[in-house]
Amino acid sequence: QVQLVESGGGLVQAGGSLRLSCAASGRPLSTTNMGWFHQAPGKEREFVAAISKSGDNTYYADSVKGRFTISRDNAKNTVYLQMNSLKPEDTAVYYCAADTRNQELSTLWNRVPYWGKGTLVTVSS
């Protein structure tokens, strides 16, 4: 079992930056593939970014490449999402995701076993 708690959401102007954090508990973070998804009102939950257990491998949705960076600090049991050059279309609830199985975190939300409760990011134009 993994428990995930997100923080760092808020209101920001277009072009601004935010850093989201996801604190994990229940097992060592080094045994867990981690990622972020977002869900805008009326839309399906979508993949944003993921990072492997060691942090050596990261992958991103095309819509955020070059603007967002995912990282992890296994000693602090925390995963981060640095979001730069934010756009109004980035407005959504951002969810931390985890998979303890020996496979990469899926980019499909219905194949991810563990979720946080989400943090709201609002980007004003």
Share of the chain above pLDDT 70, in %: 100
CA distance linking residue 88 with residue 14, whole number of Å: 6
pLDDT tens, position by position, 103-123: 889 999 999 999 999 999 999
Question: What is the pLDDT at residue 64?
Answer: 98
Question: What is the pLDDT at residue 84?
Answer: 98
Residues in contact with 55: Cβ distance below 8 Å, sequence separation at least 6, in sequence order: 71, 72, 74
Query: What is the mean pLDDT of each successive set of 10 residues along the chain, which is 125 residues long?
Result: 96 98 94 96 96 94 98 96 98 97 90 96 97
Question: What is the pLDDT at residue 94?
Answer: 98
